[in-house]
Amino acid sequence: MSQTFTKTMARNIFYGGTVFFLLLFLALTFDTTRALPSRDNRAALTPTVAHGKAVWEKNNCIGCHTLLGEGAYFAPELGNVYKRYGGKEAIIGFIKSRPVEGIPGRRSMPQFNLSDKDLDAIAEFLKYVSEINAAKWPPNIQG
């Protein structure tokens, strides 16, 4: 780089640029926080849904599935599974019916032996997620 552009100038761009864009990011975060109540379906956040999220985390569901597109890419997207399966019963039935020893040669979800309370909570949790306003994502029902 030429001599007219000095190290001091480079340093000032670093500090100035970082501080400016960090503050801009915090401002956008502040605005996002204010906008979230109308998008994040928080009205549906019941104790059951909160328990469902705990069940979701405790069994590391994100280790195979995606939720709103984030997670692993080994098993189907679950952000819209409530809509894809058409309700809670089908979700609960699927989780309950997983064979302990898997399916020969194929991918299969483990049998987690969840209690009825946990099953209901996870289904409620997936219902809650499916009603978050995710800007029309995913493109279609297949996730």
- Restricting to residues 42-81, name those near another protein by CB under 8 A: 42, 45, 49-50, 53-54, 56-64, 66-77
32 contributes a contact to another protein by CB under 8 A: yes
Q: Which of 87, 89, 96, 103 binds another protein (CB under 8 A)?
A: 103
Residue environment code for 126-139, b if the CB has 16+ CB neighbours within 10 A, otherwise e: bbbbbeeeeeeeee
Q: Which 108-127 residues touch another protein, going by CB under 8 A?
A: 108, 110-112
35 contributes a contact to another protein by CB under 8 A: yes
Q: Which residues contact 67 (CB under 8 A, 6 or more apart)?
A: 56, 61, 77, 78, 79, 129
C-alpha dihedral, 129 to 135 to 140 to 142, nearest 10°: -30
86 contributes a contact to another protein by CB under 8 A: no
Across the chain, the runs of DSSP E, i.e. the strands, are 66-67, 70-71
**Please, which residue, 88 or 138, has the CB nearer to another protein?**
138
39 contributes a contact to another protein by CB under 8 A: yes
142 contributes a contact to another protein by CB under 8 A: yes
Omega cis (within 30) before 104: no
**Please, which residue, 10 or 86, has the CB nearer to another protein?**
10
106 contributes a contact to another protein by CB under 8 A: yes
